[in-house]
Amino acid sequence: MVTKKGIYTKRNDGRKMDEVRSMTAKVGIVPSADGSASFETGKTKAIAVVRGPRTLHPQHMQNAQTGILRVNYGMMPFSVEDRIRPGPNRRSEEISKVTEWALSSVVDLSGFPNTVVDVFIQIPQADAGTRVAGINAAAMALAHAGIPMKQMVSAIGVGKIDKTLVVDLDKYEDSEFHDAEGSTDIPMVFTSRTKDMALLQLDGKISISEFKEVVGMAKKACEDILKVQMDALKNVGGEDNE
Amino acid sequence: MSNFIIPNLQKEKIEAFLAENKRLDGRKADEYRELVVEDGVSKNSASAVRVKFGKTEVIAGVHLALATPYPDSPNEGTFMTSAELHPMASQQYDIGRPGIESIELARVIDRGIRESGFIDFKGLCIKEGEKVWQVFVDIVAVNDDGNMLDVAGLAALIALGRARMPIYNEKEDKVDGYDEKKGIPLDKDVLSFSMTFHKIGGKIVADVSKEEEAISDFRWTIAMGDNDGEPRITAMQKGKAGVITEEDMETILNLAESKWKSMFPKIREYVFG
């Protein structure tokens, strides 16, 4: 990893620049659901629940060729310091859609025409990276529900703090650091086998070569995350899901 | 919202043309449509411009209103973007609550402008903690023939670049018309604009038409600004369920870089008049 000279030389929590926060994954956390999982990274917690395939209503939205995936992402009102009004808002609707696209790239619902698979993602506690934590949980919940998947997906937030490339931004790095060149955050999702990009968003300032470098760091982090997801899936019903 | 349906025959035709680097409207895969900008659509706002890429047409307007600052930034103006994909623009759109397309469009444009620092929010402060200017950018689609993200994004920038500063009457606490010689406070050095590329039948295509857009695997929007003559990425958004391979990434970043170099000077001129 190249560390260019900049003012951001040490992370608040002592992590290395390319180190992800400690992760915990559990599968099978909501008994009534077809699939469910939780994924925690540092102080960020996400839970995901899958219901379906089930008949899609209203009927005119049905697709006779394939089932469809529908994602609803939301933050719980008490998940951040300022209370969030319950219900959808512009941010949550956009995140729902990009998450839906990312997960749709790997699920195959062609065997379930006219149905919908609903994925509900909720964030009980937020410390940046909630959409990627939600996707990590949702991928496990889909697998837990037995939904046909071509491969898994793993998600990570990477970025640039001043001149330093970092993996897994916390809230301070994501939204409170404004000095020098400021903060660039880049949520990404990679497919497990082909290593293709299924989600990509970016805000900030970054050169093309730095972007390519941080993509490499994200891919590497996703390999570690995938291991945590797969271990949790193998452990369904077991005592120790960590 | 209903989906924009493309018959399979038309899809095959578009893909067959692209395989030979051709498009149904005569363009090459990486070629943009002609850009047309028209000023003065409404004299009643700070600015209102009509922007066209070929047949895709949007109108964007800027309004400034007096507002109370947020407690966590008492000396900064505020900013809001709305985008209306009006049913006049396409059979795909309906009247009523904004759909996910409108929401995503408004949010991507809002983020791009806000996070780049293009608007000097401190310059919009009238009295700290009490009174600031609130800037509204409102985008209305008039005709959707594809690539709404780039057209609407550019229209927003041009509308901001050409917006007149309102005159504040402190005694009566109201707005007294516009200062024709004064624009709103902007940091012209950080101007960046977005380019959206789609993958269709294995080919990377720029400035898509409505039909091309409907059959693409993914879209990738890249906004770039100037850093000493070199492009610097300022925002990105991937759309749709297709995945970006490593090869796609290299191809698109190279294409974005060369397109930026040829388009940026012209866009700068359009934005700042």
**Interface touch A196/B233, C-beta < 8 Å:** no
Distance from CA of B191 to the nearest CA of A (A): 12
pLDDT for B3: 67
Nearest to A101 among B233, B235, B240 (CB): B240
Residues of chain A in contact with residue B239, where contact means CB-CB under 8 angstroms, are 98, 101
Give the largest Cα separation in chain A, rounded: 58
Which tokens in the block code for residue A178? 């404004």
Nearest to A200 among B100, B225, B238 (CB): B238
Which tokens in the block code for residue A238? 């077991």
Domain B33-272 part of CATH 3.40.50.300: no
pLDDT for B1: 45
Alpha-carbon distance of B74 to B71, in angstroms, equals: 5
**Interface touch B238/A194, C-beta < 8 Å:** no
What residue has token string 């950018």? B137
What does the pLDDT look like over B256-266, one tens digit per residue? 999 999 999 99
Residue A99 · residue A69 · CB < 8 Å: no
Q: Where are the domains of chain B?
A: 33-272
Alpha-carbon distance of A202 to A183, in angstroms, equals: 11
What does the pLDDT look like over B222-237, one tens digit per residue? 999 999 999 999 999 9
Segments of chain B assigned E as strands: 35-38, 47-53, 56-67, 78-84, 125-127, 131-143, 164-169, 174-183, 192-200, 203-206, 218-227, 230-239
Alpha-carbon distance of B272 to B259, in angstroms, equals: 20
CA nearest neighbour of A130 among A87, A83, A175: A175
pTM, 2 dp: 0.89
Chain B interface test: which of A94, A109, A185 (most B C-beta within 10 Å): A94
- The residue-averaged pLDDT of A150-171 equals 97
Residues of chain B in contact with residue A94, where contact means CB-CB under 8 angstroms, are 100, 103-104, 107
Inform me whether the pLDDT recorded for A110 exceeds 50: yes
**Interface touch A204/B115, C-beta < 8 Å:** yes
Alpha-carbon distance of A42 to B247, in angstroms, equals: 33
**Interface touch B103/A90, C-beta < 8 Å:** yes
Distance from CA of B250 to the nearest CA of A (A): 9
Pairing of strands B125-127, A35-41: unpaired
pLDDT for B94: 83
Whether chain A has a CB inside 8 Å of the CB on B237: the answer is yes
CA nearest neighbour of A17 among A160, A166, A162: A166
**Interface touch B240/A212, C-beta < 8 Å:** no
Alpha-carbon distance of A129 to B99, in angstroms, equals: 25
Alpha-carbon distance of B22 to B31, in angstroms, equals: 10
- The residue-averaged pLDDT of B101-114 equals 95
Chain A residues contacting B, CB < 8 Å?
90-91, 93-94, 96-98, 100-102, 104-105, 186, 191, 194-208, 211-212, 215
pLDDT for A242: 41
- The residue-averaged pLDDT of B62-78 equals 96
Q: Could you write out the DSSP letters of every residue in A212-223?
A: HHHHHHHHHHHH
Cis amide leading into A58 (omega within 30): yes
Alpha-carbon distance of B152 to B40, in angstroms, equals: 17
Alpha-carbon distance of A23 to A167, in angstroms, equals: 14
Angle at B175 between CA B169 and CA B180, to 5 degrees: 100
pLDDT for A81: 86
What does the pLDDT look like over B24-59, one tens digit per residue? 999 999 999 999 999 999 888 999 999 999 999 999
Chain B interface test: which of A160, A175, A185, A203 (most B C-beta within 10 Å): A203
Domains belonging to chain A, first-starting first, are: 23-233 (3.30.230.70)
